[in-house]
Structure 1
Amino acid sequence: MTASVVIAYYRGLPGLDVQLEALAAQDFDGPFEVVVSDNEGSADLADHLDRHPHRERLGLRRVDASGVPGTSHARNVGTRAAVHDFIVYCDQDDAVHPGWLRAMVEAGARADIVGGPLERDSLNEPVVAAWRELPAPEEAFVMGRFLPITFGCNLAVHRSVFDDVGGWDESYPTAAGDVEFCWRIQTAGYRFGYAPEAMVAYRFRTGLAETWEQALVYAREEARVAKQYGAPGRQWWWFPVHATVSAATAPVWPWSWSRRRLGAWLWISGNLVGRVAGSVRYRTIYW
């Protein structure tokens, strides 16, 4: 099989080069290209890619996706510009492992949409890596006690499936767009596949305020997509347990806390607040 790798881009230099180096090191021996879908409309990016040392190896090219803000729009534009029929998505600030593309393509021969695992240690300093847990890599993560999902930074789909379901929902510009896309494809009758060897090194936010905001927004928009698809979420007792853990570990004296402990607390508490906010905003109960 052949593949088109699509990267949604926004203000990603110089970090994008880490991902491009990782893509250049793939052990996949079939034809593939890398399409950088530019949601910024950056002249600097165009110039950078024109002079990139891996331009030929990667079949590297840029497409303009600056018309509508959001990762979902950039992925739609990049997919529609792709040459090959198997589309594989990764993000500008991560780094795919050497066997990533091969594993995704192999799994794509047996499934309509494919996901893979994330790891936190390669790109994050130990303090930041300890802030949050990632799903176990052995099998796909089931979101909201409903259906398996994969994250948008490690997802592949056949172009025919993408076209049939109408692409990414641009009313989800960033958070939960990947959950909605996975669930829409599966509820349309397509097969979900999982490639444990398709590992991606995932980069965390390093600022405390950024971490809080990300946790809150992710959880809030998860409530939205859960309501849309009727996902039941966790059982009722999860909320008081989560709230108790958050309260019991709250920083009474924040200046005496380590950055490791404070970051972990902000992630847990931001997730809790986001679920409450999402339940209120979208008029549902989702814990």
Structure 2
Amino acid sequence: MAEPAGGPPRAGLVSVVIPARNAEATIAVQLDALYRQTYPGPWEAVVVDNGSSDGTRAVLRSWQRRMPQLRPVSAPEASGANHARNIGCRLASGELVLCCDADDIVAPGWMAAMVETLRTSPAAGGALERRSLNGTVALAARPPKESDSLLDTFGFLPYPAGANCGFHKELWRRLGGFDESYRYGSDDVEFFWRAQLAGYELGFSPHAVVHYRLRDGPLAIARQLYCYGRSHPRLYRDFRAYGMPRSRIGEAVRAWWRLLVHAGDLAATPERRSAWLAGLALRAGRVAGSVRHRRPYL
């Protein structure tokens, strides 16, 4: 795939940046959802293939014939969603950049709603809907939450998910882009926290909905949550000076005690086993991250 050259943002153009790695099974559904958006203005989709070894490239080539707004880009030199996002943002031609993922599905009206919010906000997030693409095992591990505001997991600053966010390209440039050393968790959190600490206020677009696909199977979910947990002590290391509170020891002790008491869930229903493994993985990841980054965040 040819890599187009970046240039000054075109006024009025919206660029949708999608990191993709081994997304052959899902990317076509996402592209179809984008193709059916009713946003009346000009837009492009910059899909960054981050070293896929499956048929992702073939799917993108096929969609280029149907979707002239599609700009496939190859970026195999480094792995990670933030590396792919930075490549996509650098090459994006629009003054507004929207981000979504290759394995999710944007709902009708997503683009128009996000653009409307970005008219008055330098950055924004939308709502994540978890039920439609996921079964009971995945939902037991990561139960659906009310999605009527930005995420606020750490009691510090809110943030949108990288799977459903947008910002002015100038903001991305002023912040120096996404931090590519955040490769496996908290990659989106770090960027939007820096934006707020730099004085940018985030907006929320409840009508910009993304149908969010969770990992398939308890072990895949556990691996992801382990990576998430491992990244949390690094967030604390990087942002404690700005006010991120330390983790509560009592909460961690209660979490580990619940895991011990309910260890029998490993032999129970797939849903209970999935939820138990997810809880263990997150806590184990935090322990590993605390050791690695020399900052206790349990």
The residue correspondences of 1:38-77 to structure 2 (distance < 5 A) are 38-40=49-51, 44-52=55-63, 55-56=66-67, 59-77=69-87
One-letter identity of the residue aligned with 1:83: S
Q: TM-score, normalization: structure 1?
A: 0.92
| 3-state SS of 2:183 partner | coil
- Residue 197 (structure 2) aligns with: 187
Q: Give the CA deviation at 1:217.
A: 0.9
The residue correspondences of 1:217-228 to structure 2 (distance < 5 A) are 217-228=227-238
**Which whole-Å deviations, capped at 9, do the CAs of 1:262-281 have from their partners, x for residues lacking one?**
01111112111112222222
- Asked if the contact 1:145/1:234 (under 8 Å) is kept, the reply is no
- For 1:266 and 1:248, the matched residues in 2 are separated by 13
- Residue 163 (structure 2) aligns with: 153
The residue correspondences of 1:1-287 to structure 2 (distance < 5 A) are 1-40=12-51, 44-52=55-63, 55-56=66-67, 59-230=69-240, 231-251=244-264, 254=266, 256-287=267-298
- For 1:144 and 1:154, the matched residues in 2 are separated by 19
One-letter identity of the residue aligned with 1:239: A
- Asked if the contact 1:41/1:64 (under 8 Å) is kept, the reply is no
One-letter identity of the residue aligned with 1:179: V
Paired residues in the alignment total 284
| 3-state SS of 1:245 partner | helix
| 3-state SS of 2:274 partner | helix
| 3-state SS of 1:142 partner | coil
Q: Where does the alignment leave 5 or more consecutive residues of structure 2 unmatched? A: 1-11
| 3-state SS of 1:116 partner | strand
Q: Give the CA deviation at 1:64.
A: 1.7
| 3-state SS of 2:29 partner | helix
| 3-state SS of 1:37 partner | strand
Give the aligned CA root-mean-square deviation in angstroms.
1.9
One-letter identity of the residue aligned with 1:92: A
- For 1:175 and 1:51, the matched residues in 2 are separated by 32
Q: Give the CA deviation at 1:244.
A: 2.1
Q: Give the CA deviation at 1:234.
A: 4.2
- For 2:260 and 2:205, the matched residues in 1 are separated by 38
| 3-state SS of 2:99 partner | strand
- For 2:106 and 2:273, the matched residues in 1 are separated by 29
- For 2:60 and 2:287, the matched residues in 1 are separated by 43
| 3-state SS of 2:162 partner | coil
Q: Give the CA deviation at 1:173.
A: 2.0
| Greater mean deviation of Cα atoms: 84-93 or 191-200 | 191-200
Q: Give the CA deviation at 1:53.
A: 7.2
Q: Give the CA deviation at 1:116.
A: 1.4
Q: Give the CA deviation at 1:145.
A: 1.3
- For 1:109 and 1:42, the matched residues in 2 are separated by 39
Change (3 A) 1:45 1:217: closer
One-letter identity of the residue aligned with 1:284: R
- For 1:143 and 1:22, the matched residues in 2 are separated by 29
| 3-state SS of 2:41 partner | coil
Q: Give the CA deviation at 1:28.
A: 1.7
- Asked if the contact 2:28/2:59 (under 8 Å) is kept, the reply is no
| 3-state SS of 1:205 partner | coil
